[in-house]
Amino acid sequence: MTPMKPQSRGRDAHLMGTLSLRQLARRWNISRKALRHMLGRQELSFVQIRGKFRVPLEEIERYERGREKDSE
């Protein structure tokens, strides 16, 4: 008999609607260090969950809309 796998908790509900710095760096094709500088300059708002920085999707979309307007 094979051992039972622990039930997957799925994605934590409090992480839904946010991206990690790694995920956002890939999305924007920049370094995590550059993102940390943006957070430090308060260009992006963020939350800390379990000691990790997370950026809400609403904030990402707000920033991207602003960048689109700047490039016009």
Distance of CA 20 to the CA centre of its chain: 3
CA-to-CA distance for 30 and 67, rounded, in angstroms?
A: 15
Mean pLDDT of 42-69: 91
What integer pLDDT is reported at residue 12 of this predicted model? Answer: 65
Q: What's the CA dihedral at 36, 31, 28, 11 to 10 degrees? A: -70
Confidence of residue 63 (pLDDT cuts 50, 70, 90): very high
Token pair 């920049």 is found at: 30
- Whether the per-residue pLDDT at 34 is higher than 50: the answer is yes
What integer pLDDT is reported at residue 59 of this predicted model? Answer: 95
Which residues 6+ apart lie within 8 Å of 57 measured at CB? 17, 18, 19
Q: Are 29 and 20 within 8 A, CB to CB?
A: no
